[in-house]
Amino acid sequence: MVPSEKGDEIDAVITGVNLLAEELDHIYSDLEQRVADRTATLRRTQAQLEQMTKTDALTGLANRTLLAERVQEVLLEGADSGKALAVLVLDLDSFKSINDTLGHGAGDAVLGEVTGRLRSAVRTGDTVARLGGDEFAVVITDATEEEVLDIAQRTLVLLQDGVYVGTETVWARASIGVCIAGPGYQAEALMRDADIAMYQAKALGRNNVQLFHPSMLDAVRERSRISAELRSAVTGGELALWYQPVVELASGRIVGLEALLRWHHPVRGIIMPDSFIPLAEETGLILDVGRWVLHEGIGQMRRWHDTDPALTDVPVHINLSATELLRVDLLEDIKDTLDGHGIDPSRLVLEITETVLMSRGTVEEQVLGVLRDMGVGLQIDDFGTGYSSISYLRTLPADTVKVDHSLIEDIGTDP
């Protein structure tokens, strides 16, 4: 049969359509593959970004966000499976001094070493996180109380060894708080209570492990209440200064008066400073308390000047904390208060603890230098409680030294 021209045309169209279909199919397959590749890339990027938002950049550990998710996840699983959950919160005890003396690079190296030791202390399924700064946490699942405390103690032991930073050896020991979740425990409460236990470890001398007990929370609430009352005491006239004579033994002459702070609580009566000054330092109230003590002490010197000639030239000793030494308006406040009451700067002696003087930085050095130039006396308080040697006294910017009683309490009996 002889093919017709019309048949040839039809065949050509069919062939063209088939070729076009093949080309479209190739284009579609290529497009589909590109979409799949792009989707996979986007998913990988999304996963990487999510990983970055949940990972500590310095240590590679989980961060606070991922830790919270992990705690919540295990708590939900535990409601069905009965799995036990515990959280360890640990804070390095002397990390600030490492940063201050050796620099932040050394601090980062120490955090890296601590990370390695933490990972070796826990089990494979446990989650180690860095909460920020020098604070870490561990989520422990499916463990008994004994196993949890064993992990905490193992962590404590692994942190006892020194860390080598260049030619220096430093220590990164920690205070560790432990909270084991009971029925109905919420994630936020679990973290809070582990944190409370950690601060209890700090309060008990550091470098130890404390298991959370409900009484610790009661103590925190009590401290919060006392803090609020102390804030009111500063403005409500409940603080008072008592003055203890500084006596020259050879002559019996009074050569100074030390201002001792007392809190006249309306319900509890007289509260000694050891019971509230540490709390004031923790909460920042020490600035308000210290300012009040400074103004009252200098004001009392003026009142004595006007009413008691025997005390006209007697210096008054006032304690100055590390926090107050960094108060931006300290120098101006001291000068204005002295000038306002017409008191010679030499009649004011500021007592600063040995540890503050040892760890002073550039700012503290400048403040102490200006105080000395003003004529204000400086005295080392509690000498012997830190690490100073007698020869170190030559380098300290102080006029006098108050030796801590622990050094001389047996002086009458110990040969």
Q: Tens digit of pLDDT for each residue in 369-380? A: 899 899 999 988
- What is the average pLDDT score of the chain? 86
Parts of the chain belonging to CATH 3.30.70.270: 64-212
pLDDT of residue 45: 61
Q: Look-up: residue for tokens 């002559």? A: 251
- In this prediction, residue 357 has a pLDDT band, given cuts at 50, 70 and 90, of low
- In this prediction, residue 103 has a pLDDT band, given cuts at 50, 70 and 90, of confident
253 forms bridges with which residues in the sheet? Answer: 248
DSSP 62: B
**Contacts by 331-339 with C-beta closer than 8 Å and gap 24+?**
331/367, 331/370, 331/371, 331/374, 333/291, 333/294, 334/294, 334/371, 334/374, 334/376, 335/374, 337/294, 337/295, 337/298, 338/298
**In this structure, what token pair is assigned to residue 279?**
């709390």
Parts of the chain belonging to CATH 3.20.20.450: 221-408
Better-predicted residue by pLDDT, 12 or 67: 67
pTM of the predicted model over 0.85: no
Burial 299-337 (b: 16+ CB within 10 A, else e): ebbeebbeeeeebeebbbbbbbbbebbebeebeebbeeb
Helix (H), strand (E) at residue 50: helix 5-53
**In this structure, what token pair is assigned to residue 104?**
């932040």
CB 397 within 8 A of CB 368: yes
**In this structure, what token pair is assigned to residue 314?**
């007697």
pLDDT of residue 74: 86
Alpha carbons 90 and 377: distance in angstroms, whole number: 41
- Fold classified for 221-408: TIM Barrel (3.20.20)
Q: Look-up: residue for tokens 């990027």? A: 45
Helix (H), strand (E) at residue 241: strand 239-248
Is the pLDDT reported for residue 289 higher than 80? yes
- Find the length of the chain: 415
Is the pLDDT reported for residue 63 higher than 80? yes
Q: How many CB atoms lie within 10 A of CB 366?
A: 12
CB 169 within 8 A of CB 102: no
Alpha carbons 177 and 190: distance in angstroms, whole number: 11
Nearest partner of 114 among 173, 169, 202, judged by Cα: 173
pLDDT of residue 404: 75
CA atoms within 13 A on the CB side of 364: 19
Average pLDDT (206-213) is 94
Specify the pairing of strand 269-271 against strand 253-265.
antiparallel
**Contacts by 327-330 with C-beta closer than 8 Å and gap 24+?**
327/287, 327/290, 330/367
- In this prediction, residue 50 has a pLDDT band, given cuts at 50, 70 and 90, of low
Beta-carbon contacts of 249 under 8 Å, excluding residues fewer than 6 positions away, are none
Average pLDDT (383-403) is 68
Q: What one-letter code names the amino acid at 253?
A: R
Beta-carbon contacts of 182 under 8 Å, excluding residues fewer than 6 positions away, are none
**Contacts by 219-222 with C-beta closer than 8 Å and gap 24+?**
220/196
197 forms bridges with which residues in the sheet? Answer: none
- Fold classified for 64-212: Alpha-Beta Plaits (3.30.70)
Per DSSP, the three-state class of 369 is: helix
pLDDT of residue 260: 96
Q: How many CB atoms lie within 10 A of CB 93?
A: 20
